[in-house]
């Protein structure tokens, strides 16, 4: 039977070895006694762990080879710092470190600039978070992280929020088999309406040939800044229906404007 060959960074992932727990322990003992070959075997024997982790980041638009290399750095750090005396499986210890290394790489390559001091606070908070997860096997609260760093909890929350990945306004958040609903459809428009009166006149003129429900939907959406969810609740239909009616009405308006 033919096997599937997938190469990442020149590595044929189909041929990667898998180490059993007993083999791992022996190699760790050898490595800690100065055998470099044992470390190399540990790295190669756990590359599948890196592959499983980077699957979580497939939708970030990053090159898989880059994520794999960064994940390998996290793997090597976890191998060098793993304590055999702790009764913990290596994968349990390594996965958070690999994830942390990839997240740091993604944050450093984030197009939105965050101040160095804020980023440093966020990195320290994430390190504490990973340590507390490893120690207590549960995710700590912002208050617990703030206590460890002796910082106000507001500083921790603000720093962690600042390094979150940006979300596209055109990212779909719901699809019932018809037209998708995007992030931008959930955002209210709180701009000063007085500054838009000229555009409103043009839009109202194009809306004259629409039926009453279509007029109401467009008025609520674009003149009153309501979200599709708010419109759906007020009219008594689903958000998906609002989305479809809105798109159809805009299409009709475009035809009316051109005619």
Question: How many whole angstroms separate alpha carbon 249 and alpha carbon 69?
Answer: 49
> Residue 130 corresponds to which tokens in the numbers above?
């990973």
238: pLDDT confidence band, cut at 50, 70 and 90? confident
259/130: higher pLDDT: 130
User: Does position 191 have pLDDT exceeding 70, yes or no?
Assistant: no
pLDDT score, position 9: 58
Question: How many whole angstroms separate alpha carbon 158 and alpha carbon 219?
Answer: 36
Query: Could you read off the pLDDT of 38-94 as tens digits, one per residue?
Result: 888 988 888 888 888 888 777 666 778 888 889 899 999 998 888 888 777 888 888
**What mean pLDDT value characterizes the chain?**
77
Question: How many whole angstroms separate alpha carbon 24 and alpha carbon 91?
Answer: 11
110: pLDDT confidence band, cut at 50, 70 and 90? low
Domains along the chain?
1-108 (1.20.120.1810), 110-166 (1.10.10.10), 172-258 (1.10.10.10)
Q: What SS3 state is found at 36? A: helix
Chain length of the chain: 259
pLDDT score, position 97: 87
Question: How many whole angstroms separate alpha carbon 159 and alpha carbon 151?
Answer: 11
User: Does position 182 have pLDDT exceeding 50, yes or no?
Assistant: yes
Question: How many whole angstroms separate alpha carbon 111 and alpha carbon 107?
Answer: 9
Q: For 148-156, which contacts have Cβ atoms below 8 Å and span 24 or more sequence positions?
A: 149/121, 149/124, 149/125, 151/121, 155/121, 156/121, 156/125
Question: How many whole angstroms separate alpha carbon 118 and alpha carbon 95?
Answer: 26
């Amino acid at each position: 039977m033919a096997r599937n060959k997938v190469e990442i960074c020149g590595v044929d992932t189909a041929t990667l070895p898998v180490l059993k727990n007993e083999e791992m322990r022996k190699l760790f003992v050898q490595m800690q006694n100065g055998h470099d070959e044992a470390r190399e075997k540990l790295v190669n024997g756990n590359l599948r762990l890196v592959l499983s982790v980077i699957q979580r980041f497939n939708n970030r638009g990053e090159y898989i080879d880059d994520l794999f290399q960064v994940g390998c750095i996290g793997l090597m750090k976890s191998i060098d710092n793993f304590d055999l005396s702790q009764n913990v499986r290596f994968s349990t210890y390594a996965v958070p470190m690999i994830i942390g290394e990839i997240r740091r790489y993604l944050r450093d390559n984030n197009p939105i600039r965050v101040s160095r001091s804020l980023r440093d606070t966020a990195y320290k908070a994430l390190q504490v978070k990973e340590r507390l997860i490893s120690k207590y096997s549960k995710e700590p609260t912002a208050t617990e992280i703030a206590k460890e760093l002796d910082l106000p909890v507001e500083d921790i929350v603000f720093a962690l929020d600042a390094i979150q990945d940006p979300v596209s306004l055109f990212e779909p958040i719901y699809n019932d088999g018809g037209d998708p609903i995007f992030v931008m459809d959930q955002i209210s428009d709180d701009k000063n309406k007085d500054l838009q009166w000229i555009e409103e006149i043009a839009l109202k003129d194009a809306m004259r040939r629409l039926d009453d429900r279509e007029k109401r939907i467009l008025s609520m959406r674009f003149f009153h800044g309501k979200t599709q969810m708010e419109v759906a609740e007020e009219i008594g239909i689903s958000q998906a229906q609002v989305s479809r009616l809105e798109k159809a009405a805009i299409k009709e308006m475009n035809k009316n404007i051109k005619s």
